[in-house]
Amino acid sequence: MEKLVSNWYNKRTLPENYIFPPDARPGKLATAPSCDNIPVIDLGGDQTCIIQQILKASHEYGFFQVINHGISESLLKDTMGVFKEFFELPAEDKAAVYSEDPKKICRLFTSSGNYDWEDVHLWRDNLRHPCLPLEESMKHWPQQPSTYRELVGTCSSQVRKLALNILELISEGLGLGTGYFRDELLKNMLLFVNHYPPCSDPSLTLGVSKHCDPNLITILHQEEHVNGLQVFKDGEWICVKPLSDALVINIGYQLQIISNGKLKSAEHRAVTSSSNARTSAAFFITPSDDCIVEPAGDLINASNPQLFRSFRYKEFIMNYLTKQGKTEVVLEPFKLHA
């Protein structure tokens, strides 16, 4: 428990073991200059146009934001409020959920979850748990704040619906018709709530180091007013502007593979802020462990040869975990070389 950054950050300057090597530090880019580049797509508009925008953004950025997504702004605000309240609970209440055992279904921990083995620690605490099946998972969720289960339950059901809608649009846009993304491919939904306390020197450390998400697709809600999420695009880190009514959508490796490279999973990271705490909630739509993933047959032809072999999702995750953050090599074992 005493390792949680939220328990000690205001008492200390940045400890040595939170300082990243020079090539991984954000430096001056802890405050990225440009913040308006990531496409914002209005889901209330014309369907054909939305599909085109989603495909373009998923190909060029691997990221986009959606507005008019059907989830009420007040529900998102209240859910973010309950997450923030959770991290502000007295230590004894948080202790009920704190665990260093990775097998625990719902747990609060710090950094990457690999604290004793990592060279540098991340400036973040993380609460994570599954959201499906809802009734069953909920029994493991925090009981404090008292509205946690109800609010997060409602929000995760709505996020799930939104994810299915977006996957339908992607499926149509790719020419895979309706219903391609179903059953085992999107069996699970995991929630990671990241909390980044204010940090005395954001130029030297990171909340989350560079990575691409391993799953199918991620829906992220970030707290208003505090920058933190950055995406790597054309050799530059650009920030994803927090918008009160938007959700951030991020293409995971599995969508990159299923689309045979048409959609891209982009590197991203989270930087810290010296003046504000920041909280973000990422819902990861994830295949089941035994799900077989492969490029969609309809996307492969003489001019578009198959780029990846088929594999079980658990094989992918095992490999991903051993190569944490080494985005250059994560996909190598799954590539088919001509």
Q: Which residues bind ligand AKG (CB under 6 A)?
A: 192, 194, 208, 213, 220, 222, 228-229, 268, 270, 280, 282
Among ligand AKG, Fe ion, none, the one that 55 touches (CB under a kind-dependent 5 to 8 A) is none
Minimum CB distance to Fe ion smaller for 253 or for 308: 253
φ/ψ of 139, rounded to 5, equals -60, -20
Residue closer to Fe ion, measured from CB, 168 or 213:
213
**Structure letter (DSSP) for residue 20:** P
Task: Please say which residue, 172 or 213, places its beta carbon nearer to Fe ion.
Answer: 213
Rg for the chain, CA atoms, rounded: 19
Least Å distance, CB 135 to ligand AKG, is: 25
Q: What angle do CA 116, 216, 308 make, to 5 degrees?
A: 95
**In this complex, which beta carbon is closest to ligand AKG, that of residue 259 or of residue 286?**
286
Shortest distance in whole angstroms from residue 338 CB to ligand AKG: 32
Write down the least CB distance from residue 125 to ligand AKG, Å.
Answer: 12
Task: Report the first-to-last Cα separation within the chain, whole angstroms.
Answer: 50
d(CA 338, CA 324): 27
Please identify the residue of the shown chain whose CB is closest to the bound Fe ion: 213
Which DSSP category does 336 fall into?
P
Q: How many residues interact with Fe ion (rule CB under 5 A)?
A: 1
Nearer to ligand AKG, 58 or 194 (CB): 194
Q: Which is nearer to ligand AKG, 26 or 228 (CB)?
A: 228
Three-class SS state of 266: coil
**Nearest by Cα to 118 from 195, 52, 9, 205:** 205
Please say which residue, 156 or 260, places its beta carbon nearer to ligand AKG: 156
Shortest distance, position 255 Cβ to ligand AKG, whole Å: 15
Closest approach of Cβ 79 to ligand AKG, in Å?
15
Side-chain half-sphere CA neighbours of 232 within 13 A:
15
In this complex, which beta carbon is closest to ligand AKG, that of residue 220 or of residue 249? 220
From the list Fe ion, ligand AKG, none, which binds 194 (C-beta under 5 to 8 Å, kind-based)?
Answer: ligand AKG
Q: Name which of Fe ion, ligand AKG, none residue 270 binds, using a CB cut-off of 5 to 8 Å depending on partner kind.
A: ligand AKG
| In the complex, minimum distance from the CB of residue 205 to Fe ion, in angstroms, rounded to a whole number | 17
Contact positions with Fe ion (CB under 5 A) in 195-214: 213
Per the CB < 8 A criterion, the answer to whether 252 and 331 are in contact is no
Pick between residue 93 and residue 118 the one whose CB is nearest to ligand AKG: 118
5 binds, among Fe ion, ligand AKG, none (CB under 5 to 8 A by kind): none
Q: How many CB atoms lie within 10 A of CB 326?
A: 12
Residue 170 touches which member of ligand AKG, Fe ion, none, C-beta under 5-8 Å by kind: none
Name which of residues 209 to 238 contact Fe ion (CB under 5 A).
213
* Minimum distance of Fe ion from residue 95's CB (angstroms): 27
Number of H helices, E strands in the chain: 8, 14
The tokens for 27 are: 């430096």
The nearest distance, CB 227 to ligand AKG, in angstroms, is 10
Binding partner selected for residue 192 from ligand AKG, Fe ion, none, CB under the kind-specific 5 to 8 Å limit: ligand AKG
Give the Cα separation of 205 and 20 in Å (integer): 6
Task: Say how far apart CA 264 and CA 241 lie, in whole Å.
Answer: 20
Query: Which H or E element spans position 218?
Result: strand 217-222
Chain-centre distance for alpha carbon 156? 14
Neighbours of 41 (CB within 10 A): 24
Strands (DSSP E) along 36-76, which ranges? 40-42, 63-67
Count of residues making up the chain = 338
Cβ 260 to Fe ion, closest distance in Å? 22
Residues within the interface to Fe ion (CB under 5 A)? 213
